[in-house]
Amino acid sequence: MSNTYRVQNPVTNEVVETFDTATDAEIEAALAKSAAAYKEWSARPISERAEIMTRVSELFEERKVELAQIAGEEMGKFHSEGIEEAEFSSAIIKYYADNGADFTKDQEIPTASNGTAVIRRLPIGPLLGIMPWNFPYYQIARFVAPNLMLGNTIILKDAEICPRSALAVQKIMDDAGVPEGVYNNVFASHDQISTIIADSRIQGVSLTGSERAGSIIGAQAGENLKKAVLELGGSDPYVLLDTDDVKAAAELAWGTRMYNTGQACNSNKRMIVMEDIYDEFVAELERLANAAVKSTPDNQPEGAYSALSSREAAEKLRDQLDRAVSAGANLRAGGELSAEGAYVSPAVITDIPVGSDIYYEEFFGPVATVYKVSSDEEALDLANNTQYGLGGTVFSQDPERAAAVSRRLECGMANVNTPAGEGEEMPFGGVKRSGFGRELGPLGMDEFVNKQLYYVEK
């Protein structure tokens, strides 16, 4: 056994606690429990599952301060943002508890035959979830809530750097009365993940993570003929066509980019700004970057930034900035790597050559990347010049102009005059190399489901 699973405080880089990776016997026990529990859990009336999931929702709310403190120590998240994440997780779970029966009700379809044709939405069995560290509660909630309501059971492999978060969610499930075997946290190795995917008892796999991880898990799922949902990287365009308040527009763009220390899949990774407001916009970003204050998860004064998730992540981000500058980019502010811990000061970078290798990479941290354009068409060409297709947003005082541009964005979530349309009712997911499938909203309950035809001849 190894101690891959660990709490390593990114503020100090100190390893606080380690956890043994699961044994093969423990993985087999989780598979057996999940398969056995599925028979009983799926047979319950959905109203009973809703009652239990409502209690799960309540416990996320009741324990939000504790959950935020755990996330802060594990991956550097500000406590205020950790509390918001726990609250959002609670809302997601309650949304499916309240709406699950409606989302899965029988759907009669017209038929020219003499019988009655109905589409039933039924569970399919045990599922594997592979979740990341950047939102250790929200990512779990959006996968688990619709699927437990459907009657599926879950084996959950969380990120190696978030073991306490994973155990806190398991305790919430247990304390809420989720039956044994219905939700199973496992500290699995990569080899054990392959074993789980290949097991005939597992009927699907959901991954939120990097493009590289998605290609590996997607290939394994395909090889074993398992349904997969993949939510991968993003390089979301944030198109600013016009504004009557450049300073406020820059502040909104900056605040959006700095949320969770820039570690969000659908963050505004590429700011695309019209030339007549570009200089003022960039100058305001530089001012905000230079005013940024290094801090810790439990202390968030104005302009504060926290540590990235790990020293490794911080070093990778600094290397990306170095490569961008080598390619011809202009690092206008920030980007300094701390001597200790996992801090990179918030950065503003411009003039990354379009078409260069570094242009196509995702900056997963506090980096505002800005591009200047002179027309709507140029903005669109740049926005769509990426292998990713998660989200995108367009700002304009002319709603029709913004709508026209947004309709041509090659992404799964197009927004107008807001950084993102977010909420438990809003479907989340992308196209191109950002993955496939949807979570949240009604669509989130329509993935790991048997859309069974039920036909009765009259």
Q: Which residues are catalytic?
A: 231, 265
Angle between helix 190-198 and helix 211-223 axes, rounded to 10 deg? 30
Report the alpha-carbon distance of residue 119 to residue 160 in Å, rounded: 40
The 8-class DSSP code of residue 439 comes to B
- Decide: helix, strand or coil at residue 303: coil
- For 36, the token pair is 């056995």
> Concatenated DSSP letters for 47-103?
HHHHHHHHHHHHHHHHTHHHHHHHHHHHH---HHHHHHHHHHHHHHHHHHHHHHHHH
Burial 422-449 (b: 16+ CB within 10 A, else e): eebeebbbbebbbbbbbbbbebbbbbbb
Q: Which is it for strands 367-373 and 270-274: parallel, antiparallel or unpaired?
A: parallel
First-residue to last-residue Cα distance in the chain: 61
Helices (DSSP H) in 273-375: which residue ranges? 275-290, 311-327
Report the alpha-carbon distance of residue 321 to residue 303 in Å, rounded: 21
Question: At 331, which helix (H) or strand (E)?
Answer: strand 330-333
Report the alpha-carbon distance of residue 288 to residue 303 in Å, rounded: 7
Report the alpha-carbon distance of residue 5 to residue 198 in Å, rounded: 23
Report the alpha-carbon distance of residue 3 to residue 101 in Å, rounded: 42
- Residue 169 in contact with residue 67, Cβ under 8 Å? no
Q: Which residues make Cβ contacts (< 8 Å) with residue 339, sequence separation at least 6? A: none
- Residue 154 in contact with residue 184, Cβ under 8 Å? yes
With tokens 């206008």, the residue in question is 332
- Residue 141 in contact with residue 60, Cβ under 8 Å? yes
